[in-house]
Structure 1
Amino acid sequence: MKLSALALCIPLLAAGQLAHAAPDYAQVHDILAKNACLACHAVDKKVVGPAYEEVAAKHKGQADAAEILTKHIKEGTSGNYGPIPMPPNVGISDADIKTVVEWLVAGAPH
């Protein structure tokens, strides 16, 4: 490989890594707090609903994880983690859902 081609690849590789970085937990926490998600969920322990770490682990490696999680947040779900249903969250913006889902897909780091 020519040196010039390699030099062009390095910035692209770095940009790709940044694009897949998990959102900052402080930002995600603000979204979770303002949308009342923390009333039923915590990062590392079951409250009413599952811990976010459990959700992340369940969907780890699934190609359609982001799509599934987005649907669950928007429309609610039942029976995935026990008998208590999760109601739809109609008040959360699509941008905030995207941030939360990216964080979950990255493993819910905190």
Structure 2
Amino acid sequence: MKHFSAPLLLAAACTLAPLPVLADLALATARNCMSCHNVDRKVVGPAFKDVATKYRGDKAAPARLATKVMQGGGGVWGVVKMPSNPQVNEAEAKKLVAWILSQ
């Protein structure tokens, strides 16, 4: 039986299964989220940590929030409405929401 080193096995696994692109501050910045939001404090919209706290345990929240990221909305955090974000596609919206909810 031939033995392979751990780095070689890891390299082989990475070539067989692509790693998912993870949303992060860079994606949020690139898609203009940070113009109205901050991770730790309210700006125009709520802090991402506050969003994560509000929706913790809500299994329907990720899909609902991804739609809100793309289409905009209002009434949850005050009178200022979140504008639509046509520059964000559905896959990016889901990644952003997953990252926001992980805060």
TM-score by length of 2: 0.74
Offset of residue 79 of structure 1: 1.2
Higher helix proportion, which one? 1
| 2: CA distance, partners of 1:71 / 1:95 | 11
Q: Runs of 5+ in structure 2 lacking a partner?
A: 1-20
How many percent of aligned residue pairs carry the same amino acid? 33
Q: Runs of 5+ in structure 1 lacking a partner?
A: 1-22
TM-score by length of 1: 0.69
| 2: CA distance, partners of 1:74 / 1:28 | 17
Matched, 1:89 2:75: no
Matched, 1:105 2:98: no
Structure label with greater radius of gyration: 2
Task: Spell out structure 1 runs of 4+ moving beyond 3 A.
Answer: none
Pairing partner for 1:64 from 57, 60, 64: 60
Q: Could you say what secondary structure the match of 1:53 adopts?
A: helix
Q: RMSD of aligned C-alpha atoms? A: 1.5
